[in-house]
Amino acid sequence: MANIKAGITLFSLGTAYLKGELDLEGVIRTAAQMGAEGYEIVASQMIPSYPYVSDEFVEFINEMERKYGIRPVCYSAQCDRGMLKDRDLTEDEMVSRAITDIISANKLGCTVMREQFLLGPNGLKRLAPYAEAYNVRVGIEIHNPDSPVTPIMMEYRKVIEESGSRYIGFIVDFGCFATKPNKPYWDRALAAGVPEELLQKAAQLRYDDVPQEEAFAIMGPYLGQYPALGGTLSSMYGFVQFRKSIEKELQGFREIMPYCFEMHGKCHYVDENLHEVSIPYEEIIPVIAQTDFDGFIVTEYEDEGGYGCIEQTSRHVAMMKKIIEECK
């Protein structure tokens, strides 16, 4: 039986933080008020001395725990392969930076670290002994348009299984299980004057697995009159794509559950009835509940539609707790 805990990645409140409406203490306080049992900290966004963690920052985090009762449970690292002007980082350089992140995660008391897929399978494998030494489980994020069954993620899975290490694995972002078009992109296209019937036609092409190039050819006669249609159609084949059925993806999810350290509860819009309109949580959470997963699902609100990050994040946490309780 799973022990699922509801958390928040502080990225969810990033708009209020970046606008200065909330400082870091305010973000942590708000997360606690929403009912989060722990939080993921986005290191490059919220740690002043990133990629290092100062003693002063550790004391600040400890003080936040004393005041609000929650602390970081996951360190969200950034694999900035393109940080140099003239070339990409080598694998050695990316591994070195990831080791620094592991040390920083340990200093903050985090036992899970989110790593990005720009660090390839072999690079992840090389992190295993360092992750074990610092007791930080490193999970590669599975993010849309990838899923647990796409070829690159199968390569990671092979490396993880062959390593025999309990310290390298996955963090699954639920956006990869989307079954309906993304509401913020859809709403923006409507606001830009794209007729809904054209958006529905574009969505059907995606549902029918029509190749992207062919889909653009079919919609070509309309793109000149409705420029926003092209961007929306492109998004349906990119980071917010969706599928008619996620049976295959959920089966792959079941198979990698022993290697999952945390989940990203992605949300783009949660309605007043506590329902994520594009991602079928009612199908996803029962899969986890039937395993022995012991960890956090952290709400990750993508503030693309201007619906209000505090309201949306709060709704998602409430939705998560409701579904988790129903699965018991």
Alpha helices in the chain (DSSP H): 14-18, 24-33, 43-46, 55-68, 91-107, 121-133, 151-163, 183-191, 196-207, 212-223, 227-235, 247-256, 281-289, 309-326
What's 235-285 look like in SS3? HCCCCCCCCCCCHHHHHHHHHHHHHEEEEEEEECCECCCCCECCCCHHHHH
3-state secondary structure of 225: coil
In the predicted model, is pLDDT for residue 305 greater than 90? Answer: no
pLDDT (0 to 100) of residue 109: 98
Task: Give pTM, 2 decimals.
Answer: 0.96
Mean pLDDT (the chain) is 97
Question: For residue 236, which amino acid is it?
Answer: M
**Which residue is associated with the tokens 């600040």?**
60
Under 8 Å between Cβ of 263 and 38: no
Closest CA to 53 of 6, 93, 113: 113
pLDDT (0 to 100) of residue 292: 96
Residue 90 has a CB neighbour count (10 Å cut-off) of: 11
pLDDT (average), residues 154-161: 98
In the predicted model, is pLDDT for residue 328 greater than 90? Answer: no
Residue 107 has a CB neighbour count (10 Å cut-off) of: 17
What's the half-sphere exposure (Cβ side, CA atoms, 13 Å) at 291? 20
- Residue 265, beta-bridge partner list: 299
Indicate where the chain has its CATH 3.20.20.150 domain(s): 3-180+243-326
Closest CA to 320 of 271, 285, 268, 289: 285
Under 8 Å between Cβ of 130 and 104: no
pLDDT (0 to 100) of residue 279: 98
Residue 80 has a CB neighbour count (10 Å cut-off) of: 15
Q: How confident is the model over 101-142, as pLDDT tens digits?
A: 999 999 999 999 999 999 999 999 999 999 999 999 999 999
Closest CA to 252 of 147, 139, 160: 147
pLDDT (0 to 100) of residue 35: 96
What is the dotted CATH code of the domain comprising 3-180+243-326? Answer: 3.20.20.150
- Read off the DSSP letter of residue 177: G
Closest CA to 6 of 77, 73, 57, 79: 73
